[in-house]
Amino acid sequence: MLLKWDQTGERLYETGIDRGVIYPQSEAGDYPMGEAWNGLTSVTESPSGAEPTALYANNGKYVNLISAEEFAATIGAYTFPDAFAACNGLMELAPGVFAGQQTRTPFGMTYRTLIGNDIQKEAYGYKLHFVYGALAAPSESAYNTINDSPEASEMSWEVSTTPVDVPGGKPSATIVVDSTKATPTQLKALEDIIYGKDYELTTTQPEDWAENYAQYFEKSGSEFTAVSGSGVAPSWAENKYYTGKVDARLPLPTEIATIMASED
């Protein structure tokens, strides 16, 4: 097959960053709760390692030994979410009162970059970036007087990482999911986990209604209450019952691989 270059629809590029989420690591090693990162301006990825060390024998080059790879990054933002305070070495002594130089909590993070092409531009797709075992180093903060050329102070953090297990591969601190290679069902299942979801009104009877009706909800005003049925599922009715809300959390690579390998 003859190779061709720069065909219509194949002129791809990557740009932008949005939908940052921070997930402090628990003592159990997982990332059970996420919080949106407003004001995120940049993530500069800085992988290192994979450097060759040549060995020689019999008057010639024998083999190259490759050093381990590591992942680091620099995060830039105008502000940070409350959940990041402990990751930034802050401890809240009282509401609004913080002590610095405290133990820094490791964290995970997700953010999205956009994939564009020559036809659909940035609507073509996106990549979801996952970072695990991150640790933020102390960073410099500069505060300047307001003048005739006002600028908002931008903060930055140097981040190192500790890799986690990856199914079938070496441990890694990063995972990337390409939306153009996934189905809408797979993406929704994954994004419902990393971003969470609110109560959703059901329009068709759930397959597990008879067995798990108590995991669904009814709405009265602004309040949601679990469906009750005294051991017997009530008759399902359209636009009456809701699925439960889900808090944002960071799935590990094994769970991501399972979701993205599932059939619709």
Using CB atoms within 10 A of its CB, is residue 161 exposed (0-12), middle (13-18) or buried (19+)? Answer: buried
CA distances for 221 relative to 51, 218, 244, angstroms: 62, 10, 16
What pLDDT sits at residue 264?
A: 65
CA angle 115, 117, 121 (to 5 degrees): 80
Q: Which domain holds residue 22?
A: 13-183
Domains held by the chain: number: 1
Residue 209 lies in a domain: no
Rounded to 5 degrees, φ, ψ at 256 are: -60, -45
> Along the 264 residues of the chain, how does pLDDT read in single tens digits?
999 999 999 999 999 999 999 999 999 999 999 999 999 999 999 999 989 999 999 999 999 999 999 999 999 999 999 999 999 999 999 998 999 989 999 999 999 999 999 999 999 999 999 999 999 998 877 888 888 888 888 899 999 999 999 999 999 999 999 999 999 999 999 999 999 999 999 988 988 888 888 899 999 888 999 988 777 888 888 889 999 899 999 999 999 999 999 876
Residues 6+ apart with CB under 8 A from 199: 217, 219, 224, 242, 243, 244, 245
Residue 157 lies in a domain: yes
Residue 162 lies in a domain: yes
Classify strands 72-77 and 174-178 as parallel, antiparallel or unpaired.
unpaired
What pLDDT sits at residue 28?
A: 94
- Which tokens go with 188? 């929704």
Residue 204 lies in a domain: no
